[in-house]
Chains A and B, each alone.
Chain A
Amino acid sequence: MLRCYDSATALIPASHQPALVLEFAHSQGLGAADVLLGTGWHNVEAIKADTSIPDTLLKPAQYLRLLANTQRTLGGDELAFTLGRQLLPGHFGAASHALLQAPSLRRTLELLAKHASRLSPLLVPHFRVEDGTAMVVWTDACGLGSLRSFVVHMQMAALVAMCHWRAGQRLPWTFCFNRTAPRNTAQLEVHLGTRLRFGCQVDAMLIHTNWLDQPWPFAGETHRPAASRASERAAEQEHLPRSLLGTLYEHLVTHARCMPALEEAAQNFDLSPATLKRRLAQEGTHYQAELDQVRSHVALRLMYFQGYDNDAVAQHLGYYDAANFRRSFKRWTGLTPSLFRDALGRLSPVV
């Protein structure tokens, strides 16, 4: 049976990401009581005494609340980035060790995707290479609510900062955002880069595949294949559950061609359809929304990388005809496929 976590699963050791958030809040002069408000994590005395934080497991919802509190108290739009750049490789046990040993961008992205539950428990990175472009698509690991943009910025900043450090230079990422352009892009430009694309219907980072296998300068000094294998094995042995929404996303991407029904998806998780429905509702979503998201992502990919027209995409996704696909696409994105293709034309080449 597939073990999956959701926002109510005790998963994140308090000494991992939550401890970093607390440390950051402390450095900014915020009281621990303020940022812990409503998180249900009360061991403030232990934190104050600066002793090791007791390793209780927190739920993603608690970690999210901690972030929301810190953001609310500090205000501004910088926190996501300053916090993000400290998150990777992090000190999260074997997964962090494995990441630190990675000799190239490709291995880094593979490890990040593989150990996402440990390294990025709120947002799932999906790594994929297509037509000369490497992509990291970020999707929700659990319901993020109003903090979604914050978490997206934070995880993107984390990956960018780690690659900058390990590669010894800024990598020329292109960033796609599933949102309209903000009025002020200063933080995004400085912390991520100036190649920003808005209104893309997907949160993703793109880079030319030539960067994937460049040996990183540190690798010569620190990369010891035996140590690297050992830490990767250790990370695998943790057997962490994977995110329910992330796993559902991957399942639906694989089966996007045949319009998978809720019942089949539930079977894949060994859950009854009713239970899957209930668990999705807990995360503030529902099966149709998840399926629509996957199908819009697949359609965008086909149009962008393969240059498919409406007929070809409709056929690929199992639509009766192009008109039906066109209607669905309009519902998902608010734009007709042709308008969207025009927008894509203006964006390219992105890498």
Chain B
Amino acid sequence: MAMALTLLFLAVGTFKPMAAWHWLDIAGEGGTAALAGYWAHLVIGSRPGGRVTLWLAGGLTVVMLGNWADCLDEIFIKNSTIVSLKWIESVLTPLGMMAVTWGMLLWREEQVALSAHMSKRERLFRDHRVLDRTTQVANSDYLLQQITLEHARNPLAPCALVLVDLHSFHQIVRNYCQAECDRVLLAVAHQLLLNLRHRDLLCRYAGHRFVVLMPDTGLAESQRMGAQLCSMVEAMRFHTLQDNARVAINARMACAVANTQAQSLLTALNAAVEELDAPTQVPVSQAI
């Protein structure tokens, strides 16, 4: 783009005589442009993709172009009938500055939301709008995006989904306050994270159900790992904050290999765990 801008100036402008060049201005504006470009490069290189990166890097690139246009202005005399060049100079830099500022604000929001240990909670790209408030792991929106991404990345490799359901959670809700329920979910999320491989992704699907995305994993292996995760959750000794009573947590799971129909697959997994507690007292005459 910087090259295109140079060519544009070359096409519509003529060189100023060397004597009229203000070297200090050229160095200042050219230097600013070069640094802004370098910053954009740094931002893109050091952050996962997403909204914040886009605004920061995009803004810095626009600032770079604005300053580059300023710098070229020192070298060329523009044809005064072309208004667009003037426009480029005066509008690009402030626009870029605003974009960077907006990116910074989003970044600040993101930093508040993110905790330190993120390796199993985010994969491939970052978008802090999808973090679950209670457990600080990703939510179902992020999961759906990740399944699509994973499929696009490697359509042939199997990618397993394991749904972990805390099926006694409704009793915990009846017996304890909201804060204790949230602590149970947080504790379970931590326990699951500790028992995952580095390439796995943990999401809180909704309520008392978690989903683990396991890339490059077949159905049999995911079943084995799912059973292991459930037994790790059940082996936890969770104690309430108020009276140190032990709360028993029961977990069970269902798993499947992901396909392109992510939402309907997840619905099927949820229906599968519901089937597990198929009514113990089905009315005899029930006709389904």
Contact = CB atoms under 8 A, between A and B. Distances in A.
Nearest to A213: B283
Interface in A39-94: 74-76, 78, 81-82, 85-86
B221 interface: no
Interface in B231-270: 263, 266-267, 270
Contacts of A191: 206-207
27 contacts: A23-B178, A27-B177, A27-B178, A27-B182, A76-B132, A76-B133, A82-B178, A165-B170, A165-B171, A165-B174, A169-B281, A170-B274, A172-B279, A184-B263, A186-B266, A187-B206, A189-B206, A189-B266, A190-B208, A191-B206, A194-B271, A208-B283, A208-B286, A208-B287, A210-B286, A211-B283, A349-B288
Interface in A163-181: 164-165, 168-172
A146 interface: no
Contacts of B274: 170, 193-194
B48 to A, nearest CB: 22
A186 B266 CA distance: 8
Contacts of A169: 277, 279-281
A184 B279 CA distance: 27
B209 A190 contact: yes
B216 interface: no
A74 B144 contact: no
A185 B267 contact: yes
Contact of B207 (A74, A78, A184, A194): A78
| Size range of the chain B interface in the assembly | 20 to 34
A185 B271 CA distance: 13
Interface of A: 23-24, 27-28, 74-76, 78, 81-82, 85-86, 161, 164-165, 168-172, 184-187, 189-191, 193-194, 208, 210-211, 214, 349, 351
Interface in B177-197: 177-179, 182
B92 to A, nearest CB: 35
Given A24-B178, A185-B267, A194-B270, A86 B173 contact: yes
| Interface-central residue, A164, A168, A194, by most chain B CB under 10 Å | A194
A33 B112 CA distance: 22
Given A210-B283, A349-B288, A85 B173 contact: yes
B140 interface: yes
Contacts of B132: 76
A84 to B, nearest CB: 11
A189 B267 contact: yes
